[in-house]
Amino acid sequence: MSNYIMDLRKIVGHRPLLQCAGSVIIENEKGEILLGKRTDNHLWGYAGGSVELEETVEECAMRELREETGLIADEMEFFMVNSGPEAHYIYPNGDEVFNVEIIYLSRRYHGELRPQEEEIEELRFFSPEELTMDMISPPIRPVLRRYLEGRSII
């Protein structure tokens, strides 16, 4: 499969792109969520990434989960769409995006935790009480705020 966004970057450089993404929040039986520490900004986030050509958002979310964590979602349920000004992000390399991110929750999954070395420094389950927004990658803070509000943590 090609890397659609990287192909576009060769043409447009760092200029803003509208980026469609699929993501998965994994929640274990203790109510903890799986986050990965990103290699680019050293902040934490859930598994997700850009939808490729001819790929559904659900396929993207499952692929990104498998690539970044080694896990396979047995079931996913729709959680929310993250878009608008709060989903705008400029990566450390200068690439600018306006995300339209479709996020799923999964409480049923299998596999062996294995971080994708190029993108993830560390994988760890966090209890909701351990999470602070300053440790979370900026474009997904609105998602985790809503997740925590739903759990009555914020």
pLDDT value at residue 4: 87
- φ and ψ at 75, to 5 degrees? -145, 145
The pLDDT confidence band at residue 1, using thresholds 50, 70 and 90, is very low
Q: What is the pTM of this model?
A: 0.92
pLDDT value at residue 3: 86
What residues are paired with 117 via a beta bridge? none
Cα–Cα distance measured from residue 131 to residue 152, given in angstroms and rounded to the nearest whole number:
13
Domain tally, the chain: 1
Mean predicted lDDT score pLDDT of the chain:
94
Which range of residues forms the domain containing residue 142?
4-150
- φ and ψ at 30, to 5 degrees? -90, 0
pLDDT, one tens digit per residue, over 4-59 is 888 999 999 999 999 999 999 999 999 999 999 999 999 999 999 999 999 999 99
Report, as an integer, the average pLDDT of 56-74.
98
What residues are paired with 104 via a beta bridge? 24, 78
pLDDT value at residue 154: 54
Full 3-state SS string of the chain: CCCHHHHHHHHHCCCCEEEEEEEEEEECCCCCEEEEEECCCCCEECEEEECCCCCCHHHHHHHHHHHHHCEEEEEEEEEEEECCHHHEEECCCCCEEEEEEEEEEEEEEEECCCCCCCCEEEEEEECHHHCCHHHECHHHHHHHHHHHHHCCCC
CATH number at residue 35: 3.90.79.10
pLDDT value at residue 2: 55
